[in-house]
Structure 1
Amino acid sequence: MEDMESLGRGWRGTEAGWIEAAYQLLIEGGVEAVKILPLARRLRLSRTSFYWHFTDRESLLAALVKRWQEKNTGNLVLQTEIAAATINEAVLNLFDCWVTPELFDAALDVAMRNWARTDSDLGRAFEAADNTRLAAIRAMFQRHGYGAEEADIRANTVYLTQVGYLALGTAETLETRLQRIPTYLLTFTGRPGSAAELETFNARHRARIES
């Protein structure tokens, strides 16, 4: 991630720089911390520079919502749609979101859900996001032969487990999560993962443990 000085380069900074600084304040202190003057100070820019990129604070907050929708909900849906030979392979594609911050930003999802509790418009947007994510996971199970009711229950089990991880702030190393994957697969799909499926998944993430 670029540092704030580079993101604030130039006497007006960049739109991406303002959004990144706003993101960091949101993660650190919630939406109430996302204010123009603290952002300008963090970027070492004048307060008036903000208005070259955004009409007001609300337009900046809208940019944060868009970032969250595209990265978290957008990527989650895409992961469920990747071609997979088996349901376990499909679920492992989804699991990539839970262990890859570049695909799914857990801290951002927590911050947005907290913000949604005090903002009715965002609350509706988050409800829509949850529904979209669940529908994608449900459809994934149905493509692999599960009936509608069973697909719905399994989709909820998969998704609400991860929501629980985030809500409780569960700290778990990547190595621990990978060790638990076989049991999670059996729990979520009712079918044991094959050695090849598990090895392929682990290979995608092993380098991050070893680095």
Structure 2
Amino acid sequence: MLTQMYIFVVQAFAICYETSMDQSVNDSGWRGSQDGWLEAAYDSLLESGVDSVKILPLAKKLNLSRTSFYWFFKDREELLSALVSRWRDKNTGGIVKQSEAYAESLAEAMLNVFDCWLDQTLFDSKFEFAVRSWALQSEEIQAEVHNADRTRMEAIATMLRRFGLPANSADVRARTTYLVQIGYISMQSNESIAVRMKRIPEYIAIYTGEIPARRELDRFYARHGYKPD
């Protein structure tokens, strides 16, 4: 009898230990990561809009439990806030960074800004479209977009003033530069890279009043892997 009880206790302990170990593995290896949840939210926002960014569908997409979400975010609102921060840091940050980049001339400075429209690591156009669509449903997000617009246009205007343009001219040219690009995004314009590259020298001339030098265009084209005919 004592032998049977001993065997039972040992077996029970082994089961409890294995369960504890499994739980430890699940907690540390199967709840995903904050970046993983945020990336899944980003993908859903771009694919189907903000209404699709919900905890349970994201958990299914990641093949994780719903409760694992709460290791990284307090609630859905905190996840949405993280998405907005990611958009702000990427897209507004990219324009500000490029407007402050070194340039030999105003035309080259504007080409630096144009890097944003062609390099997704600097400015994510699909993310921009998704957030602007979201703003149509949310006054809070609309305010974020308006703040971003002001910051971006002021960054471009500051760049133009740095090269000697009067304040009013810099403001108008900055607005024209920026709002045309937002129009491209809103219209989901789908120009080929060759067509767009051929138009860029004229865009630069219109926006800055300067014709870009050949060497400036060559540097710009090289950054984007384009070889003109």
TM-score (norm 1): 0.92
Corresponding residue of 1:194: 213
Hey, what's the Cα distance between the residues in 2 that align with 1:166 and 1:98?
Answer: 10
Hey, what's the Cα distance between the residues in 2 that align with 1:179 and 1:10?
Answer: 50
2:85 pairs with 1:66: yes
Hey, what's the Cα distance between the residues in 1 that align with 2:194 and 2:63?
Answer: 39
Identity of aligned residues (%): 49
User: Which structure 2 residues correspond to residues 174-185 of structure 1 after superposition, within 5 A?
Assistant: 174-185=193-204
In structure 2, the residue corresponding to 1:145 is in which secondary structure?
A: coil
Corresponding residue of 1:111: 130
**CA-CA distance at 1:14 after TM superposition:** 0.4
5+ residue gaps, structure 1: 1-8
User: Which structure 2 residues correspond to residues 40-189 of structure 1 after superposition, within 5 A?
Assistant: 40-189=59-208
Corresponding letter in the other structure for 1:73: T
Hey, what's the Cα distance between the residues in 1 that align with 2:219 and 2:140?
Answer: 41
**How many positions carry a matched residue from both structures?**
200
TM-score (norm 2): 0.85
5+ residue gaps, structure 2: 1-27
Hey, what's the Cα distance between the residues in 2 that align with 1:79 and 1:10?
Answer: 39
2:49 pairs with 1:30: yes
Which protein is bigger by CA-based radius of gyration? 2
Corresponding letter in the other structure for 1:163: I
**CA-CA distance at 1:10 after TM superposition:** 2.9
**CA-CA distance at 1:122 after TM superposition:** 1.2
**CA-CA distance at 1:206 after TM superposition:** 1.4
Structure 1 vs Structure 2 CA RMSD: 1.2
Alpha-carbon displacement from aligned partner over 1:4-48 (angstroms, at most 9, x marks no partner): xxxxx9310000000000000000111001000110011010111
Hey, what's the Cα distance between the residues in 1 that align with 2:29 and 2:108?
Answer: 47
In structure 2, the residue corresponding to 1:206 is in which secondary structure?
A: coil
Corresponding letter in the other structure for 1:99: L
Hey, what's the Cα distance between the residues in 1 that align with 2:102 and 2:172?
Answer: 22
Alpha-carbon displacement from aligned partner over 1:119-145 (angstroms, at most 9, x marks no partner): 111111110000000000000100011
**CA-CA distance at 1:85 after TM superposition:** 1.4
